[in-house]
Amino acid sequence: MRLNYAIKFVSDMNAAIAFYRDTLGLPLIFQSPFWSEFETGGTKLALHPASEENPAGTVQLGLGTEDIDNFYAAGQAEGIAFTAPPTDMHGTRIARFRDPDGAEISVSGK
């Protein structure tokens, strides 16, 4: 298991990009109205537009695993509260689950 992304939900994508790129000096990897990424070392900072489900200022963790189907099966056996099973999205398989505080975490695999 590894931390791939910290996903920050923003109210204004252009203002957020300017802040992280110009003020903080993070290298911008990719920019779009719906998803932008910065290089921060081993983990990427991703920006995503805020929504009712994910208000501006909140953060979601994006983990990665080599075998998402095995993680899903083992997690179900351990009682992890999955909100979405492994599903093909954006060229990878992604599942979602909640931590003990109710925060949703995404996990991707090959």
pTM of the model: 0.85
The residue with tokens 């080599």 is 66
> What pLDDT does residue 90 have?
81
CA distances from 1 to 28, 60, 84, 90 (A): 25, 16, 18, 20
Which domains are delineated in the chain? 1-60 (3.10.180.10), 65-110 (3.10.180.10)
Q: What does the mean pLDDT of the chain come to?
A: 95
Q: What is the mean pLDDT of residues 8-20?
A: 98
Measured distance CA(76)–CA(70) in Å, rounded:
10
Contacts for 29 with CB less than 8 Å, ≥ 6 apart: 37, 38, 39, 44
Number of H helices, E strands in the chain: 2, 8
> What pLDDT does residue 110 have?
65
